[in-house]
Structure 1
Amino acid sequence: MPWIILIASGVLEAVWATALSRSQGFTRLWPTVIFGIALIASMGGLAYALRTLPVGTAYAIWVAVGAALTVIYAMATGAESFSILKVLLILGIVSCVVGLKLVH
């Protein structure tokens, strides 16, 4: 269960990062509200996972999931340019996360 919570928390990291960008410096209400809710839920899930998972592995996975999904979403919506190199680098991040899980 901690692994599932950790991955879900990583997904929420992508949500709060995207909402933060759309909040325009906390001047837009709904993106700011979404940011706050997603941030609290993401940190809470990470804290829960850290009760049983090693901090280095859990934090690396949490950040990697959030970073990869944030870039994928930005490319999919046109907020960031698409390139094969970015996709390959994201696949590298995902591969490293799988490797961390396998050696845990």
Structure 2
Amino acid sequence: MAWLFLMLAAAFEVLFAMSMKYADGFTRPLPSALVVVAAVAGIWLLTLAMRDLPVSVAYPIWTAIGTLGTVLLGVLLLGEALTATKLLSVVLIVAGVVGLK
């Protein structure tokens, strides 16, 4: 169950980051509310996951999935460039998390 909590927490982390972009400095009410809800939900689910998973595994995986998901959605939804440097950095993040696990 801890892994399910962690995956859901990571999904909320991605939603949190993407909502911040759409909130436009908290000037748009719906995306701004989504920022708050996603942040609270993500952290709450992460704490549930940490009941059974070590912090040295759970937190890096949460942040890595959040980072990877945000990069992917930034490219797909916002037209951000996927440069060679950005792609290499994503690969290194994945390698680091695999090494921790």
User: Could you list the per-position Cα deviations for residues 32-79 of structure 1 after superposition, in whole angstroms to 9, with x for gaps in the alignment?
Assistant: 121122111101110101111111221111111101111111111234
Instruction: Could you list the structure 1 runs, at least 4 aligned residues long, displaced by more than 4 angstroms after superposition.
Output: none
The reply to whether residue 33 of structure 1 matches residue 33 of structure 2 is yes
TM-score by length of 2: 0.88
What's 1:24 paired with? 24
1:63 partner letter? T
The reply to whether residue 14 of structure 1 matches residue 14 of structure 2 is yes
What's 1:47 paired with? 47
What does residue range 40-79 of structure 1 map to in structure 2 within 5 Å? 40-79=40-79
Return the alpha-carbon distance in structure 2 between the equivalents of residues 76 and 15 of structure 1. Answer: 14
Percentage of identical aligned residues: 36
Range moving further from structure 2, 40-49 or 69-78: 69-78
User: Could you list the per-position Cα deviations for residues 3-32 of structure 1 after superposition, in whole angstroms to 9, with x for gaps in the alignment?
Assistant: 121122112101101101211121101111
Unaligned 5+ runs, structure 2? none
When residues 97 and 4 of structure 1 are mapped into structure 2, their CA distance, relative to the original with a 3 A threshold, is farther
Return the alpha-carbon distance in structure 2 between the equivalents of residues 31 and 48 of structure 1. Answer: 25
Return the alpha-carbon distance in structure 2 between the equivalents of residues 80 and 36 of structure 1. Answer: 24
Return the alpha-carbon distance in structure 1 between the equivalents of residues 74 and 98 of structure 2. Answer: 23
Return the alpha-carbon distance in structure 1 between the equivalents of residues 69 and 47 of structure 2. Answer: 20
The alignment's C-alpha RMSD in Å is: 1.5
Give the number of equivalent residue pairs.
Answer: 101
Return the alpha-carbon distance in structure 2 between the equivalents of residues 29 and 89 of structure 1. Answer: 33
TM-score by length of 1: 0.86
